Amino acid sequence: MDESKNCMPEMAFLTLHKAVVYLGISPNNLYVWRHRRQGPPSFQMGRRVMYRISALDEWVDRQEMADSRSNPALNPLNCKPLRRTS
């Protein structure tokens, strides 16, 4: 038997409803994001929509780094003002 499967966390995947609780958002947001392919990566396991916990964490980290309030490199106040050309 493969020993690596015994090392897997007990809750490696979350259903859509548990992912909503994990992320602290409304179910409607997750439904809309999934439909628009904007939210965290998901997949179907049988008839259930599932989310890998590690993928949720990575998605949250990417959202945080894409926000100028969390990423100083994106802060418009750190950029030199553009000169008018006309």
Identify the pLDDT of residue 14: 95
Identify the pLDDT of residue 8: 52
Q: Could you write out the DSSP letters of every residue in 7-75?
A: GS-TT-EEEHHHHHHHHT--HHHHHHHHHHT-SS--EEETTEEEEEHHHHHHHHHHHHHTSTTT-GGG-
Phi/psi for 21 (5° steps) reads: -65, -45
pLDDT digits (tens), the chain, 86 positions: 445 445 555 569 999 999 999 999 999 999 999 999 999 999 999 999 999 999 999 999 988 888 767 667 777 777 777 788 87
Counting Cα atoms < 13 Å in the Cβ hemisphere of 3 gives: 0
Identify the pLDDT of residue 66: 80
Identify the pLDDT of residue 81: 76
Cα 38 from chain centroid (whole Å): 9
Euclidean distance between CA atoms 46 and 53, whole angstroms: 18
